[in-house]
Chains A and B, each alone.
Chain A
Amino acid sequence: MIINHPLLGPRDAQEFVYLGDANLINRPDGLVPDAEVQFHDYLYQRDNPAGLHRELWYHEQGDRSWLVVTRNTVTHEITQVELAREVAHRQGRSK
């Protein structure tokens, strides 16, 4: 596969390491009273769509950027590639 890196252009997926569902960005607060329940859902409840899937890829043999790749799990078509740090920002993550 080819992943169109937002900074470096098209790169072979062989340079990347796959992690999984991009929802991993939304790590709950570990200090709230129901943290255990929230973390259970966060870590173990995943959608497994046959179709578009937002997932985390790490450019390990490149610039070490984590990317959010939107990929069709049926056709492997990649429709969007974003820097994970920008996605995280957009989803309200900060410090």
Chain B
Amino acid sequence: MPDHRLKPLTPLGNASPQTDTIGPVTITENTSVALASLATRKGRKADVAKAANSLKLTLPAPGHASENALWLAPDQWLIEAPFATHEDIAAYLKPAFKDAASITEQTDAWVRFDMTGPDLHPLMERLCNLDTRVMHVGQATRTVIDHLGCYVIFKTDSLTLLGPRSSAKSLHHALITAARSAY
């Protein structure tokens, strides 16, 4: 727990995360995940693999996400960890990877929305060009939603959306509007 006196705001600008249910879909702002980018330095793939292994991180292939990492770009991933225990996620990763990787805190760069519902496809087809009906759990990719570059992560019972934090309200508005329209 932080020992300072400052109170955080969620990306939507509130003291605690917001949940909205529209028809069959529930959209939840999730602030419980800390994020850091991990980029392999030149010639250090083996070292990165080893260090990742030691932290039980699974670094997925292009277009995929594991339970604790999302592929961003060639040799670059976004590492996830529980915020409650890993608020300073970069400090947690750096000792393991040392100079084999470049690590940058990304927790506050993103707003995270978890979307659940029996059938999210009608919503997604109003939002982005992904063919969600044929995508499967473990796939994750960036796409454009409401003009914004967002990551879409396919999970067992939900979709997770990472969008640029400064536009959290606009993105949320787009999600709610599309959900009202689609269901």
Contacts and interface: CB of A to CB of B under 8 A. Distances in A.
A and B touch in the complex (CB under 8 A): yes
Interface of A: 7-9, 12, 14-15, 60-65, 83, 85
Interface range on chain B (Cβ under 8 Å from partner): 10 to 19
B144 interface: yes
Q: DSSP class of A's interface residues: helix, strand, loop or mixed?
A: loop
A9 B135 CA distance: 13
Chain B at the A interface: mostly helix, strand, loop or mixed?
Answer: strand
Interface of B: 62-63, 71-74, 129, 141-144, 149
B72 A12 contact: no
B78 to A, nearest CB: 12
- In order of increasing CB-CB distance, the 10 nearest A-B pairs are A7-B62, A63-B73, A61-B149, A61-B144, A64-B73, A62-B142, A12-B129, A8-B63, A8-B62, A61-B142
A63 B60 CA distance: 14
Contacts of A85: 74
A85 B143 CA distance: 22
Nearest to B61: A7
A9 B134 CA distance: 14
A61 B71 CA distance: 14
A61 B74 CA distance: 15
A72 B163 CA distance: 35
Contacts of B72: 63-64
Given A8-B63, A9-B63, A61 B73 contact: no
